[in-house]
Structure 1
């Protein structure tokens, strides 16, 4: 008879509660040995899991998409994996492509791309490249803790400023204000917009949901500093988790409005691939009393499933609960003077200056 998997203790300071191997690609189940055995022993002794960072040297840096559900067609990610550890992160399944767990591996086994700025400049220099807003923070947070050491996001912004290339940023970190000097220069040229995601106003809850992201108060303070610096700022209530975080929707808008923010959006919880079982495990660990209720509502807005992956509907929840959240958000925005995101966050793609190709002599 096969042995049942070893029961893991509650993982403190991390979002995921386990590191189950991905099954979508026919990969063998992970054996409890080597580094993972060391991590189990750390967990048993209540020691924090170690974070490791590996330098990655890709041949290209931009990712293009043709999705009808998102407002950008290109993105850049300085890092792979994210130490913030948000349990609901839709990017977790990307670690499975590398035979790594979307669970604890995603938030402890990170990859940095130190050549990112050079690759971005080379991409911009190609005669075939056509300028359009570049999205940062679409897969992993550009201002996660390791940015303090690597500064790759800052280097990418320097390239955008040099080439007058428009860029949008989404983050859950107040580290974004460390780059206020660059962001202010970009803003004066209508080249940048910054979105800060705020999920709740309860620091304890945020500590469980997104254990290594900035506390809600720090994110709101960062929004205020962005506004003061003249940088287009946007508050994203993302994700809205029914019966867990939805109670904060109106109050987040109140706090953001008080800091001068006038652009807002919300996104319903999405649970693609391995995120669904990881989230269910998190609910069992932290909210067993309401786990069934949460998942019932999630399935009610996703056509009876944990997740709806279809184009056109995956970002548009349906049903009574979705209509209720949508109405609450719309009413609160009207009450506090928020504009639709596309009204305040238009960027200028006409200023683009193509950089010189490597080795090309400067003529003037």
Structure 2
């Protein structure tokens, strides 16, 4: 736990450039630490603490592709070059996964990042195995493949180079305009119907975005990325996600309209999800940033989750239940229909898997392969 941070003390001010307010204990540990004021005012004012630096940790991976059989997501395999995400989105559903690594889902999630330098080579090996059956792979299904560290590490670009060489279809979800750096690869793959890209746009309010997603691209830049992708012939979509009752859900129609005007052809939305540690982290964030609305937001969240902060049942975890959730779903359908936006699932605009072909070995390697 970084010095000066108290898990859920209620006395911490937000750290500059970070989303989480605190660093809760890892749920798998047998011991925990609790902040205690010793009478010397040691917890009185921590608002002047310096910004937390980002630490990069190398991870040795055993495999590149992660498979799932979840019935309510539109892909069965994914690739994640990074664990943790410097964007610092307070609502990120990936935060609890950091606990499996022994790190806190709070500030550790956005400051202690793991990267996988072996991922491109592992991917090439897995795609070349006899009997591999190609289906669209989701790039960055857990954490953003274009978070700031990608500018220097370039792992996402290396992964795209492998996928292009194999003729393998890929879908990308990101909050970063950094995706435009790879527009050359994406445009070539788009001409072969091998790629879809979705920009996640949570709000069009730059002030709210900076508080909720402190190191992600501004809403204006995300709309600009949709426009640039569309102009280059890359199928682009928008994910209005997450929709947070009482905070940003009033923006749903405008997000879809502005995205469609920028060139988006597909759209989706997800209701706020608060599994495990995210619930107390989000409540803490509400109290720090919008205390006047905190109680109302949490009450509406519980209304959409059967009285709890989260319902993990298949088919309901993305959309919720009850009058409020049903109204949000109807609003989305009406707006998407009016704007001519397709759904974001693979069935609405299928990618081409028939072009998949492992590259043939060259020179001496080719001769050895024939022996």
Quickly say closer, same or farther: Cα 1:347–1:11, change in 2 above 3 A: same
- Count of residues in correspondence between the two structures: 352
Runs of 4+ that moved beyond 6 A: 357-360
CA RMSD of aligned residues (A): 2.1
TM, length-normalised to structure 1: 0.92
1:296 deviates by: 1.1
TM alignment of 1:167-246, pairs within 5 A: 167-246=170-249
Aligned equivalents of 2:84 and 2:263: distance in 1?
32
Quickly say closer, same or farther: Cα 1:192–1:27, change in 2 above 3 A: farther
Aligned equivalents of 2:363 and 2:54: distance in 1?
39
Provide, for residues 238-259 of structure 1, a one-character-per-residue CA deviation record: whole Å limited to 9, x for no partner: 0001111111111111111111
- What stretches of structure 2 of length at least 5 have no aligned partner? 1-5, 36-42
Range 143-152 or range 253-262, more displaced: 253-262
1:282 deviates by: 0.4
1:300 — aligned with what? 303
Kept in 1: contact 2:13–2:288 (CA 8 A): no
1:316 deviates by: 3.0
**3-state DSSP of counterpart to 2:193:** coil
Quickly say closer, same or farther: Cα 1:312–1:360, change in 2 above 3 A: farther
| Aligned partner (choices 16, 21, 24) of residue 20 of structure 2 | 16
Aligned equivalents of 1:30 and 1:100: distance in 2?
14
Kept in 2: contact 1:66–1:73 (CA 8 A): yes
1:345 deviates by: 3.0
Aligned equivalents of 2:176 and 2:364: distance in 1?
39
**3-state DSSP of counterpart to 2:303:** helix
Aligned equivalents of 1:202 and 1:359: distance in 2?
56
| Aligned partner (choices 85, 88, 92) of residue 85 of structure 1 | 88
2:57 — aligned with what? 54
Range 236-245 or range 335-344, more displaced: 335-344
1:169 deviates by: 0.2
Structure 2 residue 155 is matched with structure 1 residue 152: yes
- What stretches of structure 1 of length at least 5 have no aligned partner? 33-39
Aligned equivalents of 1:227 and 1:27: distance in 2?
51
| Aligned partner (choices 338, 349, 355) of residue 351 of structure 1 | 355
Quickly say closer, same or farther: Cα 1:153–1:358, change in 2 above 3 A: farther
| Aligned partner (choices 275, 278, 283) of residue 281 of structure 2 | 278
Aligned equivalents of 1:240 and 1:259: distance in 2?
21
1:354 deviates by: 2.1
**3-state DSSP of counterpart to 1:361:** helix
Provide, for residues 279-301 of structure 1, a one-character-per-residue CA deviation record: whole Å limited to 9, x for no partner: 00001111111111111111111
